[in-house]
Amino acid sequence: MAYFKVAFGFLVTAFLSAAVSLAHPGLGFGWGGVGAPGGQSGAPSYRLFPQFYQFSCPQAEDIVMSVLEKAIAKEPRMAASLLRLHFHDCFVQGCDASILLDNSATIVSEKNSLPNRNSVRGFEVIDEIKARLEEACPQTVSCADILAMAARGSTVLSGGPSWELPLGRRDSKTASLITSNNNIPPPNSTLQNLITLFQRQGLDEVDLVALSGQPIVPRGHTIGVARCATFKQRLYNQNGNNLPDQTLERTYYYGLKSVCPKSGGDNNISPLDFGSPVKFDNLYFKLILWGKGLLNSDEVLLTGNVGNTMELVKAYAKDENLFFKQFAKSMIKMGNISPLTGFNGEVRKNCRLVN
């Protein structure tokens, strides 16, 4: 009789453990082994994987896409903004949704950093996605994963590639205004500065060029626009001599001057891709070759004389499918920058506030 009690107890324990595993895959089972991203030395650690919400919130991606479809149909430029949010999040503390936190007694918001202030947007779309997910699966899907899913969905809805998206990120309880100011590449970056800032995140020059083909570095690219303030220097004082950047194609230069005066007009906007500003394609790289890259950090990919960026620009301009494939690989790589996993961080109820 004692044997059957022990056996029955074992079966109950096994069943409960399996149930927990289905709802929160990886918890308690050391998925990925010690040392995987987000883990702690000597404790189980957890990797991101695409089926993370398969049992705990199987409708998560459908909910995300339904909100995105509505938002992007209403304003196609929103796709670029949501892609950029994911980038500006990952380059600060890792992909942990710190960029979504508002100012509070304990938080100095990253929204007020120089790269983000009066620039990043799309927060209301993330709020709507989160609210819908909280109704369906309370406190299950993290804000960090919402940003990653929104970035992929925005790419797809704009005509770009899809990819198998690893999930399981958790949300930070902190933000860093200083790191946001220091880690996000400014639009007037030199090529060496861009490479250095990407290498700091474990990304190489192939990732740099591929990800420059969309709105993360940091301005809107394949599907986006830029503010006059981000390219004014190229028009009027590129090298401190009160002359324009000589690499700008002449007709393009005069067109930019018409929307970006020497004084004032800093918030005037110009498409980064005049041919297809709301479509995801490889025209961005062709424009660079034609002398029509809008920002200094565009043009230096071709003329910076560091590494193989020139060859990559030419390759992506020639072969859109090659660009799409590498873009997807680089987005997966970027999305794996220092995620919080397992029992680190939290799943916020409201993306703007810590629990």
Residue 40 CB coordination number (10 Å): 12
Active-site amino acid positions: 88
Q: pLDDT category, 58, cuts 50, 70, 90? A: very high
Percent of the chain with pLDDT over 70: 80
Residue 294 has pLDDT above 50, yes or no: yes
Residue with the bigger pLDDT between 3 and 319: it is: 319
pLDDT for 228 equals 79
Binding residues for Ca(2+): 89, 92, 94, 96, 98, 110, 222, 273, 281
Whole-structure pTM over 0.85, yes or no? no
Residue span(s) of the chain under CATH 1.10.520.10 come to 59-181
pLDDT for 20 equals 38
Q: pLDDT category, 31, cuts 50, 70, 90? A: very low
Binding residues for substrate: 185
Rounded-to-integer distance, Cα 150 and Cα 145, Å: 8
The answer to whether the beta carbons of residues 206 and 131 sit under 8 Å apart is no
Any idea which residue has 């209403």 for tokens?
74
The answer to whether the beta carbons of residues 84 and 99 sit under 8 Å apart is no
**146 CB-side CA count, 13 A:** 34
Burial profile 283-314: b = 16 or more Cβ within 10 angstroms, e = fewer: bbbbbbeebbbbbbbbbbbbebeebebbebbe
Pick the CATH number of 59-181 from 3.40.50.12240, 3.40.710.10, 3.90.180.10, 1.10.520.10: 1.10.520.10
Q: pLDDT category, 260, cuts 50, 70, 90? A: confident
Binding residues: 89, 92, 94, 96, 98, 110, 185, 221-222, 273, 281
Binding residues for heme b: 221
Q: pLDDT category, 192, cuts 50, 70, 90? A: very high
Residue span(s) of the chain under CATH 1.10.420.10 come to 185-334
Residue with the bigger pLDDT between 120 and 98: it is: 98
Q: pLDDT category, 30, cuts 50, 70, 90? A: very low
Fold of domain 185-334: Peroxidase; domain 2 (1.10.420)
